[in-house]
Amino acid sequence: MTPGRFGDARRRRIGLLGGSFNPAHEGHRHVARRAMQALRLDEIWLMVSPGNPLKPVQGMAPLPERLASARRIADGRRIIATDIEARLGTRYTADTLAALRRRFRRARFAFVIGADNMVQLPRWKQWRAIARTVALGVLPRPGWTRRALAGRAAHVLAHHRRVPGGVLTESFAPHAAWCLVPAREHAASATAIRRAQAERSTGERRGP
């Protein structure tokens, strides 16, 4: 069921996996499945961003194209691709999370990020408020996992680290928990996929 912008009153444990999905790939599906199992989620939303403030516009496919690629790796039941940020009119994660909490009052959210984003988290708007109010599930990424665990965000949030199955159990804790999700590092990369597509396109134009 695709989430509507006006929300609903169902009681669920929902993972939010945001990103450009430019394009979506098997690594995203791997992350979604592992996060759902480890965090004991009812469903996970692939939130296709209308535009990441930290990423260049050049080379970014149109939103409908990226959403379509996310839907191809989703199942529409527990892994759900959505453009809800565009429909809410939010661009920054802090604003999106606040809007979702207002509209889905009985849902419990966990924000799922890669280790690369854990490293970059201190650059995000209101990052401490994000970490304080929503559980974080951090997925290993090649070349980033050790940096994430030794980085500023992990240091600041060290006292709030929990085992994966426990990040959503402390309903009234003064600070949300975070965890490193046990998963193998998946090598799939949207950048590599785009590069390969460009090389194939160039080869086709040149001909034999």
Give residue-wise pLDDT tens across range 33-74. Answer: 999 999 999 999 999 999 877 677 778 999 999 999 999 999
Note the pTM of the prediction, 2 decimals: 0.88
Other C-beta atoms closer than 10 Å to the C-beta of 82 total 20
Higher pLDDT, 202 or 79: 79
Of 132, 125, 127, 114, which is closest to residue 21 (Cα–Cα)? 114
Using CA atoms, how far apart are residues 121 and 130, in angstroms rounded to an integer?
A: 9
Rounded to an integer, what distance in angstroms lies between the CA atom of residue 107 and that of residue 109? 6
Mean pLDDT value across residues 74-90: 95
Question: What is the reported pLDDT for 190?
Answer: 56
Domain regions of the chain by residue span: 13-206
Distance of CA 143 to the CA centre of its chain: 18
Answer for the pair 168, 39: CB distance below 8 angstroms, yes or no: yes
- Percent of the chain clearing pLDDT 70 (strictly above): 88
> pLDDT digit string (tens) for 88-144?
999 899 999 999 999 999 999 999 999 999 999 999 999 999 999 999 999 999 899
Longest distance between any two alpha carbons in the chain, whole Å: 65
**Where would I find the H helices in 39-122?**
63-73, 84-88, 93-103, 115-120
Q: How far apart are CA 110 and CA 42, in angstroms?
A: 11
The answer, yes or no, to whether residue 198 has pLDDT greater than 70, is no
Fold of 13-206: Rossmann fold (3.40.50)
Per-residue pLDDT, averaged over 147-166, amounts to 97
Q: Give the pLDDT of residue 175.
A: 95
pLDDT, average across residues 157-185 = 92
